[in-house]
Structure 1
Amino acid sequence: MSTRTLTLVLATGALLAGCGGQIGQNNAPAQSGSGTAPSNKNLELVVGVKNEPFYTSMQCGAEAAAKQAGYTLNTQAPDEFDPTMQGPIVTALGAKKPAALLIAPTDDKTMAPQMKQIKDMGVKIIEVDTALQDTSVAASSISSDNTQGGQLAAQTMAKLNNGKTGSVLVLDTKPGTSTTAARAKGFEEELKKVAPNLKSIGIQFTDNEPAVAAQKVTAAVSSTPDLIGVFATNLNSGEGAATGLRSAGKVGQVQLIGFDASPSEVEGLRSGAFQALIAQDPATIGKAGVEQAVAAIEGKPTQRNISAPLIALTKQDMDTKSEFFYKTKC
């Protein structure tokens, strides 16, 4: 297990370069509208999956911002991170016609028709965390700079292994998930630059299921004797990877870097199951999403792309950065 302190915070400039803006900035051209107070102050937040701490933390930030702005916010989520489950939720919003829909689309193509349908009803669309490939649908898109997050994970993996030679496994969720795909790509590209001694054995998909991630890791341990690291691109994959390494008796021998900071991942970091976590700031994403939604509704300027901060956590510094730990309730 590593005791190396890795305090790697993404710089503001890097965030700006990656996604075109930073939380708190608002410099895009104004949307059409009178700027008068609207009569409809109902917001809908549709997140990726129920009972996931990342989305709960996002909901908490969004609820606080909505209350402060004098709006109401209702949150819905599918039982699984699956567009066939999320799509009907969005379609049903046509009967409610909220002023704005904040959404983490579960597929960057499949969710486009439902989101366009709601937009055509006059509902403002704000993307939070994930995004469509079609950039014409949403007025604003708020997320972490996921490519930079993958790069940060690769830099951290290189430092953890400190010149050792070996193989690394990358765990992604589902094809078509924009955020995790960017993390995986950023990791693999950066690893080639900063750690030529480490070789990626490729990206494997987990269906966003911890049990599948655990199976992938135990299989990799068996088939790849020199496996030295695992990068898991989201919390479910990270939790599953920790289980897989535990089952294989490889905890601490294979360096595990997770993305996100769920309660179980934070506990895993404390116990040594994880060597580092790349934490997002979902509450800030939710807050910024509401701010952009209100601006769009009221005909004020909105910003098309906004980046939220990322930070690397280790056992040594985690308690000084506890504001990045995800919540299970507001």
Structure 2
Amino acid sequence: MKKHLVAGACAAAATLVLAACGSGQVGQSSGGQSAPDNKNLALIPGVQAEPFYISMQCGAEAEAKKLGYTLTTQAPQQFDAALQTEKVNALGSNPPAAMLIAPTDDTAMLAPIQQVANRGTKIVQVDTSLKDSSVAVSSISSDNTQGGQLAADTLAKLVGNKPGSVLVLDTKAGTSTTAARAAGFTEQLKKYPNLKSVGVQFTDNEPEQAASKVSAALASTPDLVGIFATNLNTGEGAATGLRNAGKIGQVNLVGFDASPSEVNGLRSGEYQALIAQDPAAIGQQGVDQAVNALEHKPVTAKLTAGLHSITRADMDANAQYFYKQSC
């Protein structure tokens, strides 16, 4: 998702920058007040074994160690509110000083997160967020609406003047990040009269469902020229659907994120572009804001991370944005 394709509003740097709006200060400086005795931080990502969250964990762990804190990670096996609630509840009677969490549902996760906050734990949202974010001292994520816009601009450049239809694959209704990406993409696509959206379809975050949706779209929409997949699983499923139909390279696939499998797919031509986030920086900044809150230092209520449009032509120059499988 690199430089020559990046929409003007996107940050080219990998560092985090303040959001243009919605940022503010929480807490007061303690004038050098010592840190609390509880040095334990918890990270509860959206799902385990996903390179985006592994990269976030790596950034968070490194920053926690640097600042003299210990961070443990507990991830649900699936991107599911009930499974994530189990991880939150498991913190039990010995809650961490602060919890970094990527809520898997913007409404259902409020109650369990609030219960942890009521026990004195500072809450920092990373990647995803609740509709009611008042429980959190800080929220750090990519500008997902902008990411969707960047994906639409990227797809339009790939397609050129060719007319045709475009499919959007989202994960689950109620997932704040992917919903914003889909909405940003759909709105931005209106700027290209040769491209027509055939709507957003949900995949329950399952690659098999994404593959099935693509197969059905190919059968019902002969002029399909592009697909925007809002996350890793939808992208992998979309690539499978195109492969099964013999349409690899004939239908432009723009994915979100830059996992090892997506990077390999970009190199082999299964994807035509990826929109990469900077999850390690999100994890790092999440720890920074949590520690600031614990040590009574100024906390920024909202931070955003940079996004990068990467194509096969410039992927080697942008390898720093590829996600990790281990720390």
TM-score (norm 2): 0.94
Structure 1 counterpart of 2:196: 199
**Distance (Å, rounded) in 1 between the aligned partners of 2:21 and 2:75:** 26
- Deviation track 1:120-153 (CA, whole Å, cap 9, x = no partner) reads 1110000000000002110000000000000000
**Distance (Å, rounded) in 2 between the aligned partners of 1:316 and 1:73:** 38
**Distance (Å, rounded) in 1 between the aligned partners of 2:202 and 2:164:** 21
Evaluate the alpha carbon distance shift between residue 295 and residue 148 of structure 1 in structure 2; reply closer, same or farther with a 3 A threshold.
Answer: same
Matched position secondary structure for 2:72? strand
**Distance (Å, rounded) in 2 between the aligned partners of 1:227 and 1:185:** 19
Q: CA deviation at 1:17?
A: 5.5
Matched position secondary structure for 2:133? coil
**Distance (Å, rounded) in 2 between the aligned partners of 1:187 and 1:290:** 30
Matches within 5 A, 1:46-61: 46-61=44-59
Structure 2 counterpart of 1:268: 265
Q: 1:174 and 2:172 equivalent?
A: yes
Q: 1:106 and 2:129 equivalent?
A: no
Structure 1 counterpart of 2:322: 325
Count of residue correspondences: 321
Matched position secondary structure for 1:93? coil
Q: CA deviation at 1:103?
A: 0.1
Where in structure 2 are there 5+ consecutive unaligned residues?
Answer: none
Determine if contact 2:25/2:301 at 8 Å carries over to the other structure.
yes
Matches within 5 A, 1:149-160: 149-160=147-158
Matched position secondary structure for 1:148? helix
**Distance (Å, rounded) in 2 between the aligned partners of 1:66 and 1:5:** 31
- Deviation track 1:57-106 (CA, whole Å, cap 9, x = no partner) reads 00000000000000000001111000010001101213221000000000
Determine if contact 1:20/1:307 at 8 Å carries over to the other structure.
no
Amino acid at match of 2:325: T
Determine if contact 2:29/2:298 at 8 Å carries over to the other structure.
no
Determine if contact 1:6/1:314 at 8 Å carries over to the other structure.
no
Matches within 5 A, 1:6-21: 6-8=4-6, 10-12=9-11, 16=18, 20=22
Q: CA deviation at 1:31?
A: 4.8
Q: CA deviation at 1:5?
A: 8.9
Q: 1:240 and 2:237 equivalent?
A: yes
Amino acid at match of 1:266: V
Matches within 5 A, 1:276-291: 276-291=273-288
Decide which of 114, 117, 123 is 2:115's aligned counterpart. Answer: 117
Matched position secondary structure for 2:78? coil
Determine if contact 2:41/2:69 at 8 Å carries over to the other structure.
yes
**Distance (Å, rounded) in 1 between the aligned partners of 2:92 and 2:300:** 25
Determine if contact 1:18/1:145 at 8 Å carries over to the other structure.
no
Decide which of 25, 29, 42 is 1:28's aligned counterpart. Answer: 25
Decide which of 216, 224, 239 is 1:219's aligned counterpart. Answer: 216
TM-score (norm 1): 0.93
Deviation beyond 6 Å, 4+ runs, structure 1: none
Evaluate the alpha carbon distance shift between residue 83 and residue 249 of structure 1 in structure 2; reply closer, same or farther with a 3 A threshold.
Answer: same
**Distance (Å, rounded) in 2 between the aligned partners of 1:268 and 1:203:** 23
Q: CA deviation at 1:196?
A: 1.4
Determine if contact 2:10/2:308 at 8 Å carries over to the other structure.
no
Structure 1 counterpart of 2:65: 67
**Distance (Å, rounded) in 1 between the aligned partners of 2:36 and 2:62:** 20
Identical pairs, percent: 63
Q: 1:138 and 2:136 equivalent?
A: yes
